[in-house]
Amino acid sequence: MRTAIRDAWIVTQDAERRIIRGDVLIDGERIAAIGDVGNDTDREISASGDIIIPGLINTHCHVAMSVMKGSVDDLNFADFLAKVFKVDSDRSDGDILVGSRLGLLEMLMSGTTTFVDLYYSQDVIAEAVKESGLRGVLCWAVLDEEFTTQSGKPMDNCRRFCERHADERKIIPGVGPQGVYVCGEETWREASGYSADKGVPLTFHLSETRGEVNEHHRKTGKRPVDWLDSIDVLHERCLAAHSAWLTINEVRALGRAGASVSSCPVSNMKLATGGVAPVPEMLQHGVNVSIGTDGSSTNNSLDMFAEMKTLGLLQKSSRWDATVTPAQQLLDMATINGAKAIGMESSLGSIEVGKYADLLILDGSSPNLRPMLPHNMVSNIVYSGNALNTKTVFCQGDMVMHDRKVLTLDAVKVMDESEEVWSKLCSRA
């Protein structure tokens, strides 16, 4: 199938960050031409005056928790955790499947084409991902056996999942150590070693709260990053979520390792855990910074447009410096940096010939995006754009939404089932 998207503004996110007016030709899974693409096509999409941008990449979430949205709000952190753990422990595979579909529907309709998930039961989540047509980097939650509710050893479960899904078209399996608070040195070494051997992503929660950092220092004499560095488990496949409570030495250690961070500003602000991720210092010292929403119980949204804007405003406000994290840098974090965080920068994150056709068409007639000219386009996308501007979405050449109509999931059925599941979980709790 050769599809031409005609006469759009194309925010390429290539090395020169070019914005051009023209066409995009999709041939099968990949971008075949940009600019004047000729007439040898099977399908034509008129996008005159619209904007094409790369698919957004959410580098930290828990998609199956989408059915818990709005149910654990306005609680202190300890009470929040207790309630979440109670509800989560009662969930069946069917509940997880419905929750995953709901989260995928929200991401699909808001322009996210790739997401990184840290959870158990990733085999169930993978079913929903394949139904949706999106790309899931699905990292099985790993922790010490004394802390888990999983049946069997979590790392063995992770291996089986990774092996079973190693050749799936849009499923990238990975390893997800929960965090230093439930993973000892042996678990970390085993998880990191498997990531290195198989070349799969390694994602984990890191220095999300001051309490986590202080408790780990009390137990080991080291802060979390310093400790991970000392046991030699940091490397370029590491993707650390949150990372709000870091020293400059820890930032340097992450940079030396070639690690990535997924900053989750809305989640951290909503839970009032304090701390602002030192994003400018991370960038200065070679840490690849991307953006994550976290789960729907802490955000409560999976909207990457909102997350881009919030990350930028938080950094500016907390530093009294309006020049930090400019709009182009924020868009980079949600696209090309996200691709690098999962080791796919050669295939994703920008609109270039040969890359996968992961892209979205934004409605150029939306008043919040106007006036729209090349010199203000990126700023308007980041600071004025929202999920509802997304008209059409492609993931690896598959059109999954066209003119706001979802072509994969049954949107009404997914939403109705989510309410049935939540009612059932509430009655159990």
Q: Which residue has the tokens 């974090």?
A: 333
416: CB partners within 8 A, 6+ apart: none
pLDDT per residue as tens digits for the range 161-208: 999 999 999 999 999 999 999 999 999 999 999 999 999 999 999 999
What pLDDT score does 422 carry?
Answer: 76
Q: Are 138 and 117 in contact (CB under 8 A)?
A: yes
Closest CA to 61 of 236, 310, 329, 241: 241
Q: What is the pLDDT of residue 74?
A: 80
Interval 257-282: pLDDT, tens: 999 999 999 999 998 988 899 999 99
Q: What CA–CA distance (Å, rounded) separates 418 from 407? A: 19
**pLDDT averaged over every residue in the chain:** 94
Yes or no: say if 118 and 87 are a contact pair by the CB < 8 Å rule: no
pLDDT at 136: 98
Q: Are strands 56-61 and 112-119 parallel, antiparallel or unpaired?
A: parallel
pLDDT band, residue 423 (cuts 50/70/90): confident
pLDDT of residue 237: 96
For the chain, how far is it from start to end, CA to CA, in angstroms?
Answer: 49
Query: Band of the pLDDT at 427, cuts 50, 70, 90?
Result: low
pTM of the shown model: 0.96
Q: What is the pLDDT of residues 363-373, one digit of tens each?
A: 999 999 999 99
Geometric angle at alpha carbon 289, from 137 and 251, rounded to 5°: 120
pLDDT, residue 90, reads 67
- Residues written for the chain: 429
Mean pLDDT, rounded, for 339-354: 98
Whether 429 shows a pLDDT value over 60: the answer reads: no
Q: How far is CA 13 from CA 51, 94, 107, 299, 339, in A?
A: 13, 39, 21, 27, 12
CA distance 375 to 287: 28
User: With 80 as the cut, is the pLDDT of residue 375 above it?
Assistant: yes
pLDDT at 304 over 80: yes
| pLDDT of 428 above 60 | no
| CB proximity list for 109: less than 8 A, separation 6 or greater | 387, 390, 393, 401, 404, 406
List domains and CATH numbers for the chain: 2-54+358-406 (2.30.40.10), 56-341 (3.20.20.140)
Over range 49-56, report the average pLDDT.
98
Radius of gyration for the chain, computed over Cα atoms and rounded to the nearest angstrom:
21
